Each structure stands twice: as C-alpha cells, then as structure tokens.
Amino acid sequence: MVALSGLIWAPLLLGLLSWLAEHRQRGAGNWVSLAGLLLLLLLSLYLAAMGESALSLSWFARFNIHFALLYDGLAQLMVVMTILLAILALAVSWQEIDRRQGFFHFSLMFSVAGINGVFLAADLFLFFLCWEVMLLPMTALILIWGHENRRYAAIKFFIFTQVSGLLMLIAIIALALFHQQIEGTLSFSLAELQHLDLPGESQFWLMLGFFVAFAVKLPTVPLHTWLPDAHTQAPTAGSVLLAGILLKTGAYGLIRILLPLFPEAAMNFAPVAVTLGVISILYGALMAFSQTDFKRLVAYSSISHMGFILLALFSWQAIALQGAILTIVAHGISSAALFCMAGMLQHRLHSRELGNMGGLWTSAPRMATMTLVFVMAGIGLPGLANFNGELLSLLGSFAVYPAHAMVAALGIIGSALYGLQLFQRAFQGPPGKEVQDLQGRELGFCAVMVLALVYFGLQPHLLLEVSAASLDKLVALASFSEVRP
C-alpha cells in the first residue's frame, strides 16, 4: 500500500511547507504544522482501520535492500502515539519559540518522519537509516533552542546515540553476511532473518550489538548519562519528544527486532538484562529524589520507569509483555505531561529550580491540579494508566524472577517519595511568587492528557487488543525456544 509510505514522506514535505510559510508570515508555521499533523493522524487511523498492511519496493537491488514497511497493531499504536505527542509538542511550544521558527517546525516534522520510519521499517537497513535520521533533528532541537548548557547536552546525546548505532550497524551487516553464507543471498529483511539458524556464540554477540543500541536509547543504567542533560537542556518540545517517543524506540527495538531475531541468546542474557532493569528502577528513583531541578527530576524518573519495561520484556511472560506495552503508552503520556508543566513554569519563572518555586497553588490552582494528576499517574495511582502497566510488569516478572520483582517493587515507593516531593516543593507551602495560571490553549491540552490517563487506566484492554497479535508471536517464539533441543 503506497499510502503507507506517506507516514514517512509527508512529514518531510509538510516540514518544508511550514518552514516556507513561516518565512512568509510569522506564526503561519504553527498552523501549517498543526494541519499537517492532523492530516497524518487521519491517515494513520485510516490505515489502522484497513487492518495490517505492508509495502516492499526494491531499493538497492545489488545488496537485496528493500524499502519495506509493515503496519501491524504494534506499529499502529506507536505511530499514532508519535503523531499525538508531536501535536502536544507543537501546542506547548506555540509561543515559546521566538527565533528561527521556520526551521524549528521543519526539525519537529523531520523528527516525526524519522521516528515513524523506525516504527514502520521491515528491512534492517531501512531501520538503521531511520534510526540515524531521527538523531539529526533532535540534536538540532537541543543545540539551537535549548537552554544554558545546550551545546554540551547536544554533543553528548549525539555521541552516545551515534556510537551505539554503529554497533548496531555492524550487527546488521554481520547478519546479512550470515544469511548469504547460509542461504546464498544477502538479506536485510526482518522476516527472512528471523528464520536464520545462527550458532549460539555468534547469536550472542550479534544480540549484544543490538542490545547496547536499544539500551542507550531506552536508557538503561549505566548507558543513561546522556538523558538527564538532554532533557534538562532541551526546549519543552524536545523534552516531550524525547520522553514520550524517543525512549520508546529503544523498547520497540527490543520487541520488534532483538527478541524475535535472537530468542535463545536473549533468554540466556535475560538474568543480566532484568538485573540492569532493576538497577535502573532503583537508581533512577534515588537520583530523582535528590534533584532540585524540575526537569532533571522528571528525567531521572524516566530512567526508573523504563527499567520496568526492560524487566518485563526479558521476563518474556505474556502478562509482563502486556505490562510493557501499557507502560510504554502510559509513561509516554504522563512524562510528556510533566515536561509540559516544567516548560510552562520555566517560561513563567525563568527558572527550573524547585527552590525558586513553592506556594504556587495560590496563584495557579488549575496548573497545580493538573500537575497533581500527572504526579499521581507517575506514582502509579490505581485508576490511572501507569498503574496497570507497572502492576502487570511486576506480576509477569514475578513468575520467572521473583527476587528481582520484589526488589523492583521498591521503585514504586521511590516514585511516591520523589513525586510528592516535587509537588510539595513547587506548589505547596506559604504563597510565593505569583504566576499566570493555565490559559485556554494550555488548559485544553492538559485536560486531554488527564482524560487519556484516566481512560486508558480504566480501559487498558483497548491498547492490549491492538498489540495482541505482536505479543502472541513473541510468547509463541519463547515457547518454541524453550522446547527446542
């Protein structure tokens, strides 16, 4: 289906159109980008209604590389979330960006194109290309529109992602050569490579190349150090994209590529992976509790929440995998929401330090109420989306790694400590500085995020039904690997 490629090419064209429109009239880029993202959303929903679809066009025939796309339930979920959070990033930065607005809109749409490519790619060469493409506009967002130490944060982000990406490229090329050696032809097709019978040691080292790349993006301790700096220095739109979408590309890579391609090696590596997940949960919570910078606190909390996803995926139980999917979506909403609140406070106070806040509930009760809901979601309050994800992740992992699951549960206590501390220091206490409360546009997108957290908290089966086919294949693959001699 040729329309499927529109999810990649259309954002690039719309980004160029927004850039040109902004040059002709100030503020026009906002409206062109918004209209373009809404059209992309309609296209993605239309394709989802049509059911699973695929596209494969010969690209570099000499190397058997194809422009191959797959739009199944899991990809549908990730693409729709990408577009919705891109709309949120645009809405929260509607008045925040005061220079080079045209190029900002192009960078935002360029990011959407690269991320959609990652979620749709069914050819590993195309996957790697989109993986690198999404790095460039995100680096630009941090470097050009970031805050005081943006240059350091952008370079660090670029180096971490680039080096780990090169390890993945080496693994991809090695896989293609193994396919040529065994089957007689080069292949980068994800479907064909899943049937490749690799020697155990080779499978382990190739798996490790992919794991490092995905663990950096997730991120997992000790490969996490780029994240707090990138989040803190990025503009609000950049933080929304980073927390809501880019971190999820690492989880998606584990689900779509690493586990299906290397099931036996992944099972052997699972004790190490789940241990790293638990360490990330506890370390992220402890570091979040010690922060005085609003954005840096939320950044470390993301490391903690992503640890639950790693724990769930490598437990490789049906319930745990469902928990990982729910956590991906729930964290995408709640963390993006908290970064929106941090950005709006910084725009008003010109500071991210919690010590410069306090007592803001008096002058901004609507902002305080919304923030409280987002904090409660991050804590895992029953009835909100995050609770379901973390509960299923722990239940599923407990069946295989009970000690790890019990220790990981301490991270929920940690999230309550740093979450409540964040809210108390920012909004409670004696009246402090007066800030403008949420206005129409801000109140609108905050209300939508609250409704989303409540809706998916009460109706999690809607997300699980969309991704059920992809998860069933993983569970079946795990069962096959266990009984394989």
The number of helix segments (H) and strand segments (E) in the chain equals: 22, 2
Residue spans of alpha helices (H) in 184-293: 190-193, 200-217, 226-233, 236-241, 247-253, 259-261, 263-289
Q: Which domain holds residue 467?
A: 268-485
Are both 361 and 458 inside the same structural domain?
Answer: yes
Query: Which residue is associated with the tokens 């029953």?
Result: 382
Residue 71 three-state SS:
strand
Are both 295 and 210 inside the same structural domain?
Answer: no
Domain end call among 235, 261, 287: 261
Determine the straight-line distance between the first and last CA of the chain, rounded to whole angstroms.
40
Domain end call among 210, 229, 261: 261
Q: How many C-beta atoms surround the C-beta of residue 183 within 10 A? A: 14
Residues 6+ apart with CB under 8 A from 450: 370, 373, 374
Domain end call among 203, 235, 261: 261
**Strand pairing report for 53-60 and 65-71:** antiparallel
Are both 202 and 315 inside the same structural domain?
Answer: no
pLDDT of the chain, 485 residues: tens digit per residue: 678 889 999 999 999 998 988 888 887 888 999 999 999 999 999 998 888 888 888 888 888 899 999 998 899 999 999 999 999 999 888 877 778 888 899 999 999 999 999 999 999 999 999 999 888 899 999 999 888 888 999 999 999 988 999 999 999 999 999 988 888 888 898 888 888 888 778 889 999 999 999 999 988 989 888 988 888 888 988 889 988 888 889 999 999 999 999 988 988 899 999 999 999 999 999 999 999 889 999 999 999 999 999 999 999 888 999 999 999 999 999 999 999 999 888 888 888 888 888 888 888 899 999 999 999 999 889 999 999 999 999 999 998 999 999 999 999 899 999 999 999 888 887 777 788 888 888 899 899 999 999 999 999 988 888 888 888 888 877 655 543 43
Are both 255 and 283 inside the same structural domain?
Answer: no
Are both 95 and 131 inside the same structural domain?
Answer: yes
Q: How many C-beta atoms surround the C-beta of residue 465 within 10 A? A: 10
Are both 80 and 223 inside the same structural domain?
Answer: yes
Structural domain count of the chain: 2
Residue 483 confidence (pLDDT) = 38
Q: Is 140 exposed, middle or buried, given 0-12, 13-18 or 19+ CB atoms closer than 10 A? A: buried
Are both 408 and 297 inside the same structural domain?
Answer: yes
Indicate left, alpha or beta for 51 from its phi (over 0: left) and psi (-120 to 50: alpha).
left
Are both 294 and 437 inside the same structural domain?
Answer: yes
Residue 1 confidence (pLDDT) = 62
By the 8 A CB rule, do 80 and 48 touch? yes
Q: Which residues pair with 71 in a beta bridge?
A: 53
Are both 248 and 383 inside the same structural domain?
Answer: no
Are both 407 and 469 inside the same structural domain?
Answer: yes
Residues 6+ apart with CB under 8 A from 162: 132, 135
Are both 244 and 295 inside the same structural domain?
Answer: no
Residue 100 confidence (pLDDT) = 85
Are both 283 and 252 inside the same structural domain?
Answer: no
